[in-house]
Amino acid sequence: MISVLIMAIATLIITNLVMIINMILYKSSITDREKNSPFECGFDPKSSPRMPFSLKFFLIAVIFLIFDIEIALMLPMMPTMMMSDMMQWMMTTTIFIMILVGGLYHEWNQGALNWVY
């Protein structure tokens, strides 16, 4: 147990030392207009280097991630059904699914699932 603690402390010390040495040795942190501009064969860029991002696409991506988390939370429900009291399992599962359906209804009601207005 002590050796694990010593190794954890040594790892923290080494990583902090490497970061401090990097900050000391990294002298070119001075920002320059030429360094921050995108390189396009020596010419000025024809368009903005940062294109606008669709907020609707971001919202759909977040909803997809939430859906993935919901699936990951629902997967252990079936194996635990045999190991627990059936009434308690049904109540817990019903409440969980009702919360998910309520969230889906809220997203639908707010128009978050409509791709085109």
Q: Is the pLDDT of residue 95 over 90?
A: yes
Mean pLDDT to the nearest integer, 44-62: 73
Looking at the whole model, is its pTM more than 0.85? no
Closest by CA position to 116, among listed 53, 56, 51, 55: 56
Q: Is the pLDDT of residue 13 over 90?
A: yes
Q: Is the pLDDT of residue 112 over 60?
A: yes
Residue ranges of alpha helices (H) inside the chain are 2-25, 33-36, 55-74, 77-81, 86-110
pLDDT of residue 28: 58
